[in-house]
Amino acid sequence: MASLAGAQTQFAPKAKRVIYLFQSGAPSQIELFDHKPGLAKMRGVELPDSVRQGQRLTGMTATQTSFPLVASQFEFKQRGQSGAWVSDLMPHVAKIADKLCFVNSMHTEAINHDPAVTFFQTGFQLAGRPSIGSWLSYGLGTENQDLPAFVVMISQGTGNVSDQPLYDRLWGSGFLPTKYQGVKFRSTGDPVLYLKNPEGVSAGTRRGYLDDLAAMNQLKLEQAGDPEIATRMAQYEMAFKMQSSVPELTDLSKESAKTIDRYGPEARTPGSYASNCLLARRLTERGVRFIQLFHRGWDQHNHLPGQIVNQCRDTDQGTAALIEDLSERGLLEDTLVVWGGEFGRTVYCQGKMTADDYGRDHHPRCFTVFMAGGGVKAGMSYGETDDFSYNIVKDPVHVHDLHATILRLLGVDHTKLTYKFQGRHFRLTDVHGNVVKAILA
């Protein structure tokens, strides 16, 4: 199938849109959601070879001669009626545990950040494939003609201010027409570049200029048949519409003080995670198909206890507020919210371990993501890891499986959403992926 544009779905969709809260740098599942109380009695004990099973290490710990186990310093409790384990680092998320579906058995193939983040965004470790938001824009179209179908916002956490960089290709359209790429909203100046007309150019003058330019582009399109000319025409029109729609979107003056307070003290700070969460809700109300928040700062190879406290303070309240806000406005039912990073962290200490400090290396073998709304079961924990949070012992979920499940919730058979490029029909899940039916409501 060459295209599903126009919202042609194979199933009755449970979700109309997605908000993906991507926690870049890899949150430690051991500190947040994967409770392993037995580790407290094994502090300093070497990771058993029977657990590691010869699995590869990163270049950062490959030269270590010792791999001492280290338990989380933070308390866990079972939350809500579901009894999901959530650490005290996430008190606001803990309060809404019964709205969440925790997948504790995620695993991936990449062990370093760039290929791992790229894998989660595109289904492939090497750059060049379309991002998931682009696939959805291409396959399902848009519900709003005045805003992009795919919007990206980035915030910098206080956990690790020197965290891994993020590249525009992560929300790129790859070999799809470029009109499907994500539009990044900036935190300073105009949210979108060149949003304002040049000084001395009125809206009427701009409109006339665009009409004349569109007529010339149409002639060229008829001559050359290049789809990128059509993309250029569409983007000029979208830019003109955003001159009025984006300022209205980002104006929070009509939000109640109660709503602002719910998202936290940084909600009024442009570019903060809390502010971006609030904007995500406003984008949802306006029918934007795919909204992705990237939050940097989770790469805690050392000084993890201090860094992760700051990082959770950045994200906990805004995440919970967004889900509660969507729920109260009747939007959570058909909005899928996804929270998670590119892999997990090791149970053994990286570097020097002291009485109150330690670090953790990358760990792709198992980690946790959670979802809410959009047709997933609420109040559920799926999958299990071993006593070391090192290997999965029940119900593994691969990145391709997660992508297949997201598409299924949107009414799309992941094997049908394809695009022919260089003689092959490509798809987000490549030749893999199984829908995780057990978490579907």
Q: What is the 3-state secondary structure (H, E, C) of the chain?
A: CCCCCCCCCCCCCCCCEEEEEEECCCCCHHHHCCCCHHHHHHCCCECCHHHHCCCCCCCCCCCCCCCEECCCCCCEEEECCCCEEEECCCHHHHHCHHHEEEEEEEECCCCCHHHHHHHHHHCCCCCCCCCHHHHHHHHHCCCCCCCCCEEEEEEECCCCCCCCCCCHHHHCCCCCCHHHCCEEECCCCCCCCCCCCCCCCCHHHHHHHHHHHHHHHHHHHHHHCCHHHHHHHHHHHHHHHHHHHHHHHHCCCCCCHHHHHHHCCCCCCCCCHHHHHHHHHHHHHCCCCEEEEEEECCCCCCCHHHHHHHHHHHHHHHHHHHHHHHHHCCCHHHEEEEEECCCEECCECCCCCCCCCCCCCEECCCEEEEEECCCECCCEEECEECCCCCCEEECCEEHHHHHHHHHHHCCCCCCCCEEEECCEEEECCCCCCCCCHHHEC
pLDDT value for 109: 96
- Of 27, 60, 72, which is closest to residue 388 (Cα–Cα)? 72
Q: Are 121 and 340 in contact (CB under 8 A)?
A: no
Per-residue pLDDT of the chain (441 residues; tens, 9 = 90+): 333 444 578 999 999 999 999 999 999 999 999 999 999 999 999 999 999 998 889 999 999 999 999 999 999 999 999 999 999 999 999 999 999 999 999 999 999 999 999 999 999 999 999 999 999 999 999 888 899 999 999 999 999 998 889 999 999 999 999 989 999 998 777 787 767 777 887 878 877 877 788 789 888 888 888 888 887 887 777 777 777 788 888 899 989 999 999 999 999 999 999 999 999 999 999 999 999 999 999 999 999 999 999 999 999 999 999 999 999 999 999 999 999 999 999 999 999 999 999 999 999 999 999 999 999 999 999 999 999 999 999 999 999 999 999 999 999 999 999 999 999 999 999 999 999 999 999
pLDDT value for 322: 98
- Of 435, 364, 439, which is closest to residue 400 (Cα–Cα)? 435
Domain 17-192+256-439 belongs to what topology? Answer: Alkaline Phosphatase, subunit A (3.40.720)
Looking at this protein, which amino acid is placed at residue 202? Answer: S
pLDDT value for 294: 98
> Which residues have a Cβ under 8 Å from the Cβ of 132 and sit 6 or more positions away?
20, 121, 122, 123, 290, 403, 406, 428
> Which residues have a Cβ under 8 Å from the Cβ of 99 and sit 6 or more positions away?
323, 324, 327, 332, 372, 373, 378, 379
Residues 255 and 277: their CA atoms lie apart, in Å, by 13
pLDDT value for 1: 32
pLDDT value for 4: 40
pLDDT value for 7: 55
Name the residue ranges covered by the structural domains of the chain: 17-192+256-439
pLDDT value for 6: 46
In this prediction the pTM is 0.93
